[in-house]
Amino acid sequence: MGAPVKFPLPPRRAGARPASFAPLLTTLAFGLSWYLLWNLALVMGASGQASLWYPPAAFSVALFLRFRLGALPMVALGCGLTSLQGALLEQTADPRAGLVWLGFTLIHTLVYGGFAELIRRHRRNARGRRGADMPAETHAMLFAPLFCAAQTGLGLANLWLFTDLGPDQLIALAPIRFCGDLVAVVTLTFPLYYLMRIPLARFSLGLGTPALPYLAGTTLLFATMTWLSHVSQGRIPLSMVAYVQLLPLLLASGRLDFLRLSFLVAWSELIFVLEAWAIGIPENAIDYQGAMLAIASLTYFGGMIASLRGERNHLRRLAGTDPLTGLHNRRAATELIEIERTRSRRRDSPITLALLDIDHFKRINDEFGHDEGDHALTLVAAALRGTLRGGDIVARWGGEEFLICFPDTGLSQALDVCERCRRAIAAHPIGAASGQPRRITASFGVVDLPPWEPVGGAIGRADRLLYQAKLRGRDRIETQTLEPLTPLATASAPPGP
């Protein structure tokens, strides 16, 4: 395909500002989308005032996540259109209908706008505390039942004040409305939110490949169970179809991330809605909703798996990272070197170790203070990270000492890299703010790691060479190689038969 054709724009008069209709069009588009989702919820309506599945609740949370206060006119427009449709269908002019609409709009925006703000705060706190692979949404979703219960209670109070529904009718509506909101909020909020933020082409490419087998399996299993339910003439209830859907979703919950699992669960619910649209709601509607709620609970389950995996990875990073420099600490470096040692023995490849120490580090602390000493450590760590290769391992070994492991690298090549590191360290002076900048230097001890020598023994040799570099004037590299062990002489052994 060629480059897209660009049409020239007409010249604009100087000083004239173009009229932007984008905010208005955005409000209209999302308000109409809210209204269409409300009509989709009517397909699963168990009564005139409750739905087994209420996606506008999830859409409202997603809108407040995306637009914050800008979502208010969108939600108000959607609620207003639903109220107008209800008045036209019932052909009544009850003045209380406006009060019902106003009360519902206020309750809906306050409750689900507050829930969106809670999610945003969880994500803001998680951004610096748990790391990028930690889904903060799973923590915030633990509060979803509380907000759905508040929406149900306040919504029923609104109906009690401005409609003719009695207490018995309102009590019967309570579990249906609560579960309908909860199922939608838990499973649809984040799929809808990401659909608002991610272009559809990039979204489909990024989501489809890992989730496609589970998507196909879920659809095939649903079609098979629905056919068996029809053939059995009701002996297999439709709610059983929903429970059978748990099998592929349970399998996916441990293998897909939170977002992909949410989309898979949303698809499982959508095909139930399509079935209800085609053949109607079954008589045991509450059992049917209970099955859908069980499917929705997998978003919790899968989200908690991702959450625990993220916490485990975060704690593992904390346990193996030096907090000042961000490099590996001694424990993590030892484990990584042992892994590389095993690989080198299997591939018969060399390994080289280097131990370096900042020269006159105590004098730096005494002259410039411990804060500047910490700054010197971070400068050295940055110089090493910027100079070393991708497969090299660098760690803060202790105090002002750093350890470097060069996998698949001979001694001569490692010496060249260490020389570049020595020059990079010397190019970062400290104390410039005091008017007396001081050059940082480091001394190196570099050794090879033969297959027969323990790692601790090689590090001990590097430490002795480091001390020798200090005695010989510092800011230098000392090295040593060990001769390979030779097998015992067998010349005196008796000849074989």
At 123-148, the pLDDT tens digits run 777 655 544 444 556 667 778 889 99
Q: What is the pTM of this model?
A: 0.61
Segment 97-108, tens digit of pLDDT: 778 888 888 999
Q: pLDDT band for position 272 (50/70/90)?
A: confident
- Tens-place pLDDT, residues 218-235: 888 888 887 887 787 767
426 domain-assigned = yes
Q: Which two tokens stand for residue 63?
A: 């809108």
CATH number of the domain encompassing residue 339? 3.30.70.270
Tell me how long the chain is: 497
Q: What pLDDT, on the 0 to 100 scale, is given for residue 2?
A: 39
Q: Are residues 291 and 394 in the same domain?
A: no
7 part of a folded domain: no
Q: Are residues 179 and 281 in the same domain?
A: yes
Local confidence band at 282 (pLDDT 50, 70, 90 cut-offs): low
Same domain for 128 and 247? Answer: yes
Rounded-to-integer distance, Cα 106 and Cα 85, Å: 19
Show the tokens assigned to 465. Answer: 């060479």
Of the candidate ranges 66-80, 239-253, 462-476, the one whose mean pLDDT is the lowest: 239-253
357 assigned to some structural domain: yes
Domain count, the chain: 2
Last residue of a domain, one of 283, 318, 353: 318
- Provide, rounded to the nearest whole percent, the portion of the chain with pLDDT above 90: 33
Is residue 173 assigned to a domain?
yes
**Residue 411: its pLDDT value, please?**
92
Please name which of 82, 64, 49 lies closest in space to residue 185, comparing C-alpha atoms.
64
442 and 463 housed in the same domain: yes
Cα separation, 128 vs 306, whole angstroms: 18
Q: Are residues 342 and 226 in the same domain?
A: no
Of 268, 284, 318, which closes a domain? 318
Residue 1, in any domain of the structure: no
- Residue 280, sorted as left (phi over 0), alpha (psi -120 to 50) or beta, turns out to be left
Instruction: Encode burial over 211-243: b for 16+ CB neighbours within 10 A, e otherwise.
Output: beebbebbeebbeebbeebeeeeeebbbbbbbe
- Any domain includes 493: no
Return mean pLDDT, the chain: 79
Query: 351-358 and 393-398: which strand pairing?
Result: unpaired
pLDDT band, very low/low/confident/very high, at 397 (cuts 50, 70, 90): very high
Q: What is the mean pLDDT of residues 305-315?
A: 71
481: pLDDT strictly greater than 70: no
